[in-house]
Amino acid sequence: MIAERFPDSVVKLHIQYRMNSGIMELANSTIYQNQMTCGSSQVSRSCLKLDLKQCVSCGDQCWITKVIDPELHVVYVETDQVPTLEQNVGTSFQNEIEAQIGLIVIQALAYF
């Protein structure tokens, strides 16, 4: 990894201006040892504005509505129960079904 080869070129982020408070909290607790702060209260409070009332076909039972809910700043999509197959591709892994799920989420965000 490049950071290991050039450790003097790595700088830890202490003030950020791109993530709302919920997303920053995840990064802060997992990587930054709670040392990162948001440099803007406007960014800290920001979230998507979606009209999910349009999704009437499946109501509250629709998984995609739960995934793109603007009140949830961070969402994990559990795919363990979905019949998927990981494939070795070079030195990495590829999972076509998980990629399709990601595409569905992106399309739903673009729709609403």
**Domain-by-domain residue ranges, the chain?**
1-46, 50-112
Q: Is the pTM of this model over 0.75?
A: no
* pLDDT tens for each residue of 82-103: 888 889 999 999 999 999 999 9
Q: What was the pLDDT predicted at 75?
A: 92
Quick count: other Cβ atoms within 10 Å of Cβ 13? 13
Per-residue pLDDT, 40: 94
Residues 6+ apart with CB under 8 A from 76: none
Question: β-pairing, 15-16 with 37-38?
Answer: parallel
Q: What is the rounded distance in angstroms from the CA atom of residue 6 to the CA atom of residue 36?
A: 23
What's the average pLDDT block by block, 10 residues per block, for the chain (112 residues)?
A: 80 90 93 92 91 64 84 89 88 92 90 80
